[in-house]
């Protein structure tokens, strides 16, 4: 009867006359929902399923879940969610919105938006720019900062619950063999054991919160020109109540899976710049692996339901499975320092390099300009007065840069340090951070003719650097002695410089 009721409800929602409309109704299906698009509205119905992680088996459960969906999503997309509409069967057997009669289903009513504004569509079209993803990372950081803290158990137990759901999901699928599932589950349990203490510390520190829970590209869109999160997890509090970096990791994994490693690394760095949550940086590969495992088991579950796209879904499930295992592989930490005078391209090189060293999502970039702005409590793009560049202030910046690098390296994370490094003591300080942590150090000095540096500084617009041609002139007048670092021609193409550095780091790893 439940299935028959939902078949009838679906037929009603697909009928344009149900809305008094003349245009056809478009239906989009996911593994747990059906979305009906008509005119300026979208209506979302829960499929009548009972899964290890979601129970929509009765009309009452679906109605309650719809109401919760509206409540939770108004945190991040208030103009998108309009309310809940009940579907009832009248005495004459007809189905309608609300009114007297037996409840047979419910739908969430939303404002319809251009599907091309979904971030997954924008990714395919190459329209996800660094500026947009920086804005997105900052928006997510603010959302996490304001999200409700939840102390409902140890941090380890929180992630163990996710692994339990994954294992239950894999158990229902025949895409993977029994030995594959055993090895896969064992690898994740081993990784969880390695990170247990850190996860518990983060839970005690309030890092486990009621988050979005399903933060991948398709659940981010542009609304009024701003990135907005929607379609959060409303059907399972255990899935949505997670470490904030586990929430972020779904977006990082999705970008990485789509071959957008540079954007994944950028989002991670801009988020950590905003949140100052570097204690969890070394957890991100594990968190991304768990997210890939979630996608693998959900996709494998769709195969069991039967589909015209079975072959494609099997390949997709296996690709997520392979990605998950690769994300669990550990690599030794290292420190790469990139120095050079203003205009030499340090930040450009650091940004282009970071995704390709260390483990996904790549290296943490520590940039002196951003550290200085944070010390003064202003956004990275804000300009500081000359007093902020006094020698004693600059010394504090370099001290903080080396200290933060040392902490990350000691945790097993890879760092790219970006600063002028024109003074010997500052170079000694950053090298000492690597020695104390017992990790390899690779110093790069970007060399360029003064006229190239002046041209680049004059053309610079925006960004965290406040350097002017006058600042550059003072740097040139100091005449940097031999740094002892590997010199590289800053006039060469960025990809060539990056590939040279990556080749050197691979040699160091071996």
Convert the pLDDT of each residue in 354-398 to its tens digit: 999 999 999 999 999 999 999 999 988 888 888 888 999 999 999
Q: Which of 327, 358, 373 is the last residue of a domain?
A: 327
Summarize the confidence of residues 6-33 as an average pLDDT.
90
Percentage of the chain modeled with pLDDT above 70: 97
Task: Determine the pLDDT at residue 242.
Answer: 92
Same-domain pairing of 370 and 471: yes
**What pLDDT, on the 0 to 100 scale, is given for residue 288?**
98
What mean pLDDT, rounded, does the chain reach?
91
Q: What is the pLDDT of residue 236?
A: 86
Q: Residue 310: what pLDDT?
A: 84
Q: What 8-state DSSP symbol labels residue 118? A: B
Residue 39 has pLDDT above 60, yes or no: yes
pLDDT of residue 271: 98
Q: What is the CATH number of the domain that holds 361?
A: 3.40.50.300
Residues 71 and 147 in one domain: no
Domain of residue 422, residue span? 335-509
* CA-to-CA dists, residue 370 to 321, 392, 398, angstroms: 37, 17, 12
Where does a domain end: 112, 136, 155?
A: 112
In this prediction, residues 209-220 reach a mean pLDDT of: 95
Q: Choose the final residue of a domain: 63, 91, 112.
A: 112
Same domain, 320 and 339: no
The DSSP element (H or E) to which 34 belongs, if any, is strand 33-38
Judgement on whether residues 209 and 98 belong to the same structural domain of the protein: no
pLDDT for 510 beyond 50:
no
How many domains, the chain? 3
User: How many beta carbons lie within 10 A of that of residue 435, not counting itself?
Assistant: 11
pTM of the model: 0.90
Q: Give yes or no: residues 175 and 47 share one domain.
A: no
Q: What is the pLDDT of residues 257-295, one digit of tens each?
A: 999 999 999 999 999 999 979 999 999 999 999 999 999
The residue behind tokens 């080749």 is 503
Q: How many other β-carbons are positioned within 10 Å of the β-carbon of residue 127?
A: 13
Percent of the chain at pLDDT above 90?
Answer: 71
Identify the residue with better confidence: 88 or 481: 88
Statement to judge: residues 176 and 306 lie in one domain: yes
CB 210 within 8 A of CB 237: yes
Lowest mean pLDDT among 181-190, 301-310, 367-376: 301-310
- At 32 the pLDDT is 87
**Are 278 and 363 found together in one domain?**
no
Same domain, 269 and 346: no
pLDDT at site 307: 64
At 466 the pLDDT is 75
User: What pLDDT shows up at residue 76?
Assistant: 92
Exposure b/e, 497-507, CB count within 10 A at least 16 = b: bbeebeebbee
pLDDT of residue 303: 79
Average of pLDDT values for 482-503?
A: 92
The CA distance from 293 to 233, in Å, is 17
CB < 8 Å & 24+ apart, contacts of 6-13: 6/45, 6/47, 6/48, 6/104, 6/105, 8/89, 8/95, 8/104, 9/45, 9/87, 9/95, 9/104, 9/105, 10/34, 10/45, 12/87, 12/95, 12/96, 13/43, 13/45, 13/87, 13/107
Query: For position 286, which CATH number holds?
Result: 3.90.1200.10
- Are 178 and 284 in the same domain? yes
1: pLDDT strictly greater than 60:
no
Q: What pLDDT does residue 117 have?
A: 94
Q: Say yes or no: 391 and 489 in one domain.
A: yes
In a shared domain, residues 471 and 345: yes
pLDDT tens for 103-146 read 999 999 999 988 899 999 999 999 999 999 999 999 999 999 99
3: pLDDT confidence band, cut at 50, 70 and 90?
low
Tell me: do 137 and 285 sit in the same domain.
yes
């Amino acid at each position: 009867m439940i299935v028959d009721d939902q078949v009838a409800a679906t037929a009603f929602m697909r009928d344009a006359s149900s809305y008094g409309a003349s245009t056809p109704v478009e239906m989009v299906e996911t593994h747990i929902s059906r979305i009906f698009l008509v005119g300026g509205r979208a209506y979302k119905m829960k499929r009548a399923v009972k899964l290890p992680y979601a129970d929509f088996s009765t009309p009452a459960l679906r109605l309650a879940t719809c109401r919760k969906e509206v409540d939770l999503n108004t945190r991040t997309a208030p103009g998108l969610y309009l309310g809940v509409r009940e579907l009832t069967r009248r005495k004459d057997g007809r189905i309608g919105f609300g009114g007297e009669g037996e409840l047979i289903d419910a739908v969430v009513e939303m404002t319809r938006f251009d599907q091309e504004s979904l971030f997954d569509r924008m990714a395919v079209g190459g329209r996800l720019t660094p500026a947009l993803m920086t804005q997105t990372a900052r928006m997510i950081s603010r959302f996490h900062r304001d999200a409700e803290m939840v102390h409902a158990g140890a941090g380890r137990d929180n992630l163990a619950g996710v692994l339990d759901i994954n294992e239950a999901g894999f158990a229902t699928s025949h895409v993977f063999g029994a030995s594959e599932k055993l090895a896969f589950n064992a690898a994740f349990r081993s990784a969880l054991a390695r990170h247990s203490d850190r996860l518990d510390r983060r839970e005690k520190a309030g890092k486990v919160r009621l988050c979005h829970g399903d933060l991948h590209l398709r659940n981010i869109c542009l609304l009024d020109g701003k990135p907005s999160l929607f379609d959060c997890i409303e059907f399972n509090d255990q899935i949505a109540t997670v470490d904030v970096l586990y929430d972020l990791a779904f977006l990082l994994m999705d970008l990485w899976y789509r071959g957008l490693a540079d954007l994944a690394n950028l989002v991670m760095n801009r988020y950590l710049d905003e949140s100052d949550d570097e204690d969890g940086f070394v957890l991100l590969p594990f968190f991304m692996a768990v997210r890939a495992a979630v996608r693998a088991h959900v996709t494998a579950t769709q195969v069991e339901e039967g589909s015209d796209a079975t072959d494609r879904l099997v390949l997709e499930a296996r690709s997520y499975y392979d990605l998950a295992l690769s994300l669990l592989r550990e690599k030794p930490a290292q420190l790469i320092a990139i120095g050079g005078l203003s205009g030499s391209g340090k930040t450009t090189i650091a940004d282009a390099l970071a995704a390709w060293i260390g483990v996904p999502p790549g290296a943490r970039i520590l940039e002196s300009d951003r550290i200085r702005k944070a010390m003064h409590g202003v956004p990275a793009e804000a300009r500081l007065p000359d007093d902020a560049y006094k020698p004693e202030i600059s010394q504090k910046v370099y001290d903080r840069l080396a200290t933060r690098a040392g902490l990350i390296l000691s945790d097993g994370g890879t760092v790219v340090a970006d600063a002028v490094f024109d003074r010997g003591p500052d170079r000694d300080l950053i090298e000492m951070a690597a020695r104390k942590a017992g990790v390899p150090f690779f110093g790069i000095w970007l060399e360029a003719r003064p006229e190239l540096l002046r041209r680049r500084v004059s053309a610079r617009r925006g960004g965290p650097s406040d350097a002017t041609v006058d600042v550059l002139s003072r740097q040139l007048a100091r005449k940097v002695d031999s740094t002892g670092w590997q010199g590289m021609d800053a006039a060469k193409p960025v990809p060539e410089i990056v590939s040279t550095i990556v080749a050197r780091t691979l040699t160091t790893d071996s």
